[in-house]
Structure 1
Amino acid sequence: TALHLAVYLDQPSTVRALVQRGASRTLQDRHGDTALHLACQHQHLDCARYLLEVPPHRCRSQQHHPELRLQNWQGLTCLHLATLQRNRPLMELLLQNGADIDIQEGTSGKTALHLAVETQDRSLVRFLLRAGARVDARMHNGCTPLHLATGRHLSGIVATLCQAGADSFLRNVEDETPQDLADDPLTLLPFDDLKISGKPLLCTD
Structure 2
Amino acid sequence: MDVHRVYNSNQMDYDINHANPKLDKMLPSNEDRFDSGVDSMKDEECNSIVKHMESLNMAATVSTRNDIDNEPWKKEVTEDGDTFLHLAIIHEAIEETIQMINQSHGDPFLNIQNNHRQTALHLAVIMEQPQVVERLLKAGCDPQLVDDSGNTALHIACKRGSLSCFGVLTQVDSSHLPSVLTTPNYCGHNCLHLASIHGFLSLVETLLRLGADIDAQEQCNGRTALHLAVDFQNHELVQLLVAKGADVNSLTYGGYSPYHLTFGRQNAEIQQQLYALTAQELLDLPESNSEDSDWDVQSEDDQMYDDIRVVGCK
Is TM-score (shorter-chain normalized) higher than 0.5? yes
Equivalent runs, 1:90-169 vs 2, <5 Å: 90-152=203-265, 154-163=267-276, 165-169=277-281
Contact between 1:49 and 1:93, CA under 8 Å: does it hold in 2? no
Contact between 2:170 and 2:177, CA under 8 Å: does it hold in 1? no
1:54 and 1:174 map into 2 onto residues whose CA distance is 50
Unaligned runs of 5+ in 1: 177-205
Q: Which residue identity does 1:81 align to in structure 2?
A: L
Cα pair distance change 1:35/1:42, threshold 3 Å: same
Q: Which residue identity does 2:235 align to in structure 1?
A: R
Given the two structures, how large is their TM-score scaled by the length of structure 2? 0.51
- Please list every run of at least 4 consecutive aligned residues from structure 1 whose deviation after the TM superposition is greater than 6 angstroms: none
Q: Tell me how far 1:157 sits from its aligned partner.
A: 0.6
Corresponding pairs, count: 171
Q: Which residue identity does 1:44 align to in structure 2?
A: S
Given the two structures, how large is their TM-score scaled by the length of structure 1? 0.77
SS at the partner of 2:202? helix
Determine what percentage of the aligned residue pairs are the same residue: 41
Q: Which deviations, in whole Å up to 9, do the C-alpha atoms of 1:16-37 show, x marking residues without a partner?
A: 1222233211111001111011
Q: Which residue of 1 aligns with 2:168?
A: 50
SS at the partner of 1:83? helix
1:162 and 1:174 map into 2 onto residues whose CA distance is 18
1:64 and 1:132 map into 2 onto residues whose CA distance is 21
Correspondent of 1:77 among 175, 190, 200: 190
1:43 and 1:146 map into 2 onto residues whose CA distance is 27
Equivalent runs, 1:13-92 vs 2, <5 Å: 13-55=131-173, 62=175, 64-92=177-205
Unaligned runs of 5+ in 2: 1-118, 290-314
Q: Tell me how far 1:174 sits from its aligned partner.
A: 3.8
Q: Which deviations, in whole Å up to 9, do the C-alpha atoms of 1:25-83 show, x marking residues without a partner?
A: 1111001111011111111111011111153xx8xxx4642111111111111111111
Correspondent of 1:5 among 123, 130, 140: 123
Q: Which deviations, in whole Å up to 9, do the C-alpha atoms of 1:93-131 show, x marking residues without a partner?
A: 211111111111110000000000011121210011001
The structure with more radius of gyration: 2
SS at the partner of 2:259? helix
1:156 and 1:22 map into 2 onto residues whose CA distance is 48
Cα pair distance change 1:45/1:137, threshold 3 Å: same
Q: Which residue of 1 aligns with 2:6?
A: none
Q: Which residue identity does 1:33 align to in structure 2?
A: N
1:115 and 1:95 map into 2 onto residues whose CA distance is 16
Q: Which residue identity does 1:2 align to in structure 2?
A: A
Q: Tell me how far 1:84 sits from its aligned partner.
A: 1.1
More divergent stretch after superposition (3-12 vs 153-162): 153-162
Contact between 1:54 and 1:63, CA under 8 Å: does it hold in 2? no
Q: Which residue of 1 aligns with 2:45?
A: none
Q: Which residue identity does 1:140 align to in structure 2?
A: Y
1:70 and 1:63 map into 2 onto residues whose CA distance is 11
